[in-house]
């Protein structure tokens, strides 16, 4: 059974990210129900919504969506340092 997952992904680099860069990332994840973070820090991140059967599949899809959005936004592709997923069922329990 496929369900919706909220997947958070962060990458860390060697420089500070500007408002405009994070806005570009936000625009790139918006079609995926996403938001972006990282203004004024050395990390940029996003929360996106994916449909998957398992947490592992959701993490894989979320990370791929994030990587695509990073390229679309023109950001440098720094290493991913955090990935987490919460299903819609878990979110309802919170």
Evaluate if residue 89 carries a pLDDT over 90.
no
Asked if pLDDT for residue 93 goes beyond 80, the answer is: no
CATH 3.30.70 fits 3-93, yes or no: yes
10-35: per-residue pLDDT in tens? 999 999 999 999 999 999 999 999 99
The pTM of this model reads: 0.92
For the chain, strand residue ranges (E) read 3-12, 35-37, 43-52, 80-87
Query: Among candidates 22, 11, 4, which has minimal Cα distance to 66?
Result: 11
Rg of the chain taking only CA atoms, in angstroms? 13
Tell me what pLDDT residue 1 has: 87
Instruction: For 64-77, write each residue's pLDDT tens digit.
Output: 999 999 999 999 99
Average model confidence (pLDDT) across the chain: 95
Domain borders along the chain are 3-93
Residue 94 binned pLDDT confidence (cut-offs 50, 70, 90): low
């Amino acid at each position: 059974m496929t369900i919706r997952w909220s997947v958070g992904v962060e990458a860390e680099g060697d420089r500070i990210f500007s408002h405009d860069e994070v806005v570009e990332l936000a625009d790139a994840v918006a079609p995926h129900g996403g938001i972006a973070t990282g203004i004024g820090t050395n990390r940029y991140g996003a929360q996106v919504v994916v449909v998957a059967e398992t947490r592992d599949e959701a993490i894989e899809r979320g990370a791929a969506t994030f990587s695509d959005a990073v390229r679309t936004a023109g950001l440098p592709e720094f290493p991913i340092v955090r990935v987490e997923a919460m299903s819609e069922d878990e979110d309802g329990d919170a």
